[in-house]
């Protein structure tokens, strides 16, 4: 298990949970990052922050600090 910000472009993973219980985590859940959902890491910005992910049909841009709060199980 790893965090979302440790993934590399092209990897897929399943959301396992969160490492914190804050307003940011609740907002990420509202955006669709809920346990069980498959996430695809699409790309980094040129200076590596933010990163872009796909959750279902939606694409999201997250800061690395926000992505570090999401626990992911990498899918092979």
**pLDDT per residue over 16-35, tens digit each?**
999 988 899 999 999 999 99
User: What's 5-65 look like in SS3?
Assistant: HHCCCCCEEEEEEECCCCHHHHHHHHCCCCCCCEEEEEEECCCCCCEEEEECCEEEEECHH
Domain chopping of the chain, boundaries? 2-75
Residue 47: pLDDT above 90?
no
CATH of domain 2-75: 2.30.30.90
pTM above 0.85, yes or no: yes
pLDDT given at position 62: 94
């Amino acid at each position: 298990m790893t965090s979302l910000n440790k993934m590399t472009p092209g990897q897929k993973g399943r959301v396992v949970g969160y490492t914190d219980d804050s307003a940011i985590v609740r907002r990420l859940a509202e955006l669709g990052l809920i346990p069980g959902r498959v996430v695809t890491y699409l790309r980094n910005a040129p200076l590596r922050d933010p990163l872009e992910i796909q959750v279902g049909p939606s694409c999201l841009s997250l800061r690395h600090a926000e992505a570090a709060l999401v626990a992911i199980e990498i899918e092979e």
